[in-house]
Structure 1
Amino acid sequence: MISTRQEAPGRWVAVGDDGVVAGELRVFVRPDGRRFALFGPSSDAVVGALLEAALAAVDGDLRVEAGADDAARLALLTGHGFAVDRREHVYAVPTRRLGVDVEPPDGFGLRSAADVDLERFRLLDEALRRDVPGVGEWRNEPAAFGRETFDDPQFDPATYLIAVDGSTGGYVGLVRVWVRTTGPRLGLIGVLPEYRGRGLARALVGAVLDVLHKRGEAEVVCEVDETNAASNALMAGFGARRIGGNIELSWRRRR
């Protein structure tokens, strides 16, 4: 028999008959206002019990992610009223480039995020995030943005780059790779709409791949929305291979 209890705002735990905690669920709100549930490692039975407790308590919609190949978890979620919102590919991208030209186009340069104006960097990040499939009106808190970026232990100034328009000094694109203990992850690649089609995204990705290759990293992992044709083509151009997929589902409270 599994029982659940709410231990703190946005946190539920499941407890077995022996009194031992069998799993937990945390609910958090992203900077775009969307609410997500995150599970710790646990069985589907435990996840189901935690979901029922959380869904009875949350005051709005809730989103979750599941592996595209996890049929049991997907069935559990849809059985609780979740519906598929979007799907994404998970790629492994080789850091060794084979004939891919990655020089920035004339008139543009690449700078480390550690060496740029923080406020302009924050606004660029905000604009690019809002253009990502599955993201709403993302808002970076000015007082927290620098701390959350530079104090993150996965931040690396050599793999977090900003594209700069040399004629105006404007920040027009960025790439970031988080350096994790499990291996590097490409977290975002984006270019402002009016600067696309010039090879800036390819130059940004190529620059960080070169850094990682010199460090002995063979691959970097990334996720790309299935509907994002340009980003899928960009990764394919660097020799990416699909190693999995994720599905985002949402539960909407009836109003």
Structure 2
Amino acid sequence: MNTNVFPSGRSGHAVVITRVADRQWHALEDDLVVGRGHAEHRPDGRLFVSVDAWHDAAFDRLAEAMLAHLPAPLYTVADEADTELTAGWRRAGFTVRRREWEYAVPTDPRVTGLGEVLPPSGVTIVPAGQTDEGLLRAVDRAIRAEVEAAVGWQSMPAEVIPRPEGDTLVDPSKYAVAAAPDRYLGLIRVVAVSRPRIGLVAVRAGEQRRGIARALLAHALGTLHRSGATAAWAEVHESGRAAAALFEGVGARPVSSNLELVR
């Protein structure tokens, strides 16, 4: 356990930073915990940091202590509306890497207009948990190669960036796919933790503009609606006009924006 004492905070008492675990720090002022810092590796291998502090002095001292012990590059995510938090990370030397809009997506087909949507001729939707893992990995690799050759994966949601070992599927059981007789043409990933979240919708370049993405979305939202969920959530990169149009076309509305910052 490491402890550092910094000049007085807002109350006039010194801010004491203590490393309480491998990647956890506490800020104490007059023996009270006035802030906590935490670092963790995401599935893609990147190291993300977070700080929850009562005031700027505690935030700055926590950030300083964490940055002194953690390897670069470091990443963090902040609600763009939280200008105080964003300002704190900027003081620590972080810059904005990407912006994602968070959409609330209705599931009721009477609202989305997807109740009668079917995949194009020769294409079937295979529900999550019933896909062939080999074909799923093949279409995932193919789509990633196409995106990387075009706009690059920096434009995709943060969670789908390839992990260090090269395994790009977070959990194969969470993907539904659009299937042709001999291969998969597109996929959609939905995860339900505290709320249903659409992590990815993607279709092979040569199969786009056939209604496959819309059919995948109709399947996923219909499944959620039947399970009792009234809304799902999705993140769209600010440059993702096609994805924004897809979601807005079914009644989704942006409700917030998140910034990913890097140092």
TM bucket normalised to smaller: 0.7 to 0.9
- 1:112 maps onto 2:123 in alignment: no
Shift of 1:89: 0.8
- 1:219 maps onto 2:231 in alignment: yes
- Change over 3 Å in CA distance of 1:144–1:19 after alignment to 2: farther
1-structure distance, mates of 2:251, 2:223: 17
Shift of 1:196: 1.6
Aligned counterpart in structure 1 of residue 171 of structure 2, from 127, 133, 149: 149
Shift of 1:80: 1.3
Deviations 1:10-55 (A, max 9, x none): x131141426584131131542x4332244x443544433321222
- Change over 3 Å in CA distance of 1:143–1:72 after alignment to 2: closer
Q: Matched residue of 1:198: which SS?
A: coil
Asked if the contact 2:102–2:256 (Cα under 8 Å) also holds between the matched residues in 1, the reply is yes
- Change over 3 Å in CA distance of 1:210–1:21 after alignment to 2: same
Q: Please tell me the residue identity of whatever aligns with 1:174.
A: L
Deviations 1:196-253 (A, max 9, x none): 21111111111111112223322111111110011000001110111111011111xx
Q: Please tell me the residue identity of whatever aligns with 1:119.
A: G
2-structure distance, mates of 1:76, 1:180: 29
Aligned to 1:138: 162
Aligned to 1:25: 38
Range 13-22 or range 195-204, more displaced: 13-22
The count of aligned residue pairs is 236
Aligned counterpart in structure 1 of residue 78 of structure 2, from 66, 69, 76: 66
- Change over 3 Å in CA distance of 1:53–1:122 after alignment to 2: farther
Aligned to 2:54: 43
1-structure distance, mates of 2:31, 2:144: 45
Shift of 1:105: 1.0
**TM norm structure 2:** 0.77
2-structure distance, mates of 1:43, 1:173: 46
1-structure distance, mates of 2:139, 2:31: 51
Q: Matched residue of 2:31: which SS?
A: coil
Which blocks of at least 5 consecutive residues in structure 1 are unaligned?
A: none
**TM norm structure 1:** 0.79
- Change over 3 Å in CA distance of 1:114–1:27 after alignment to 2: same
- 1:195 maps onto 2:217 in alignment: no
Asked if the contact 2:34–2:53 (Cα under 8 Å) also holds between the matched residues in 1, the reply is no
Asked if the contact 1:66–1:247 (Cα under 8 Å) also holds between the matched residues in 2, the reply is yes
Aligned counterpart in structure 2 of residue 162 of structure 1, from 177, 180, 198: 177
Aligned counterpart in structure 2 of residue 3 of structure 1, from 9, 16, 30: 16
Query: Highest Rg: 1 or 2?
Result: 2
Shift of 1:140: 7.5
Q: Matched residue of 1:75: which SS?
A: helix
- Change over 3 Å in CA distance of 1:74–1:217 after alignment to 2: same
Range 230-239 or range 116-125, more displaced: 116-125
Q: Please tell me the residue identity of whatever aligns with 2:196.
A: P
Shift of 1:84: 1.1
Percentage of identical aligned residues: 33
Deviations 1:103-134 (A, max 9, x none): 11111111123222223323444555674415
- 1:79 maps onto 2:91 in alignment: yes
Q: Please tell me the residue identity of whatever aligns with 1:202.
A: R
- Could you say what the CA RMSD is over the residues aligned between the two structures, in angstroms? 2.9
Asked if the contact 1:13–1:21 (Cα under 8 Å) also holds between the matched residues in 2, the reply is no
Aligned to 1:247: 259
2-structure distance, mates of 1:30, 1:47: 26
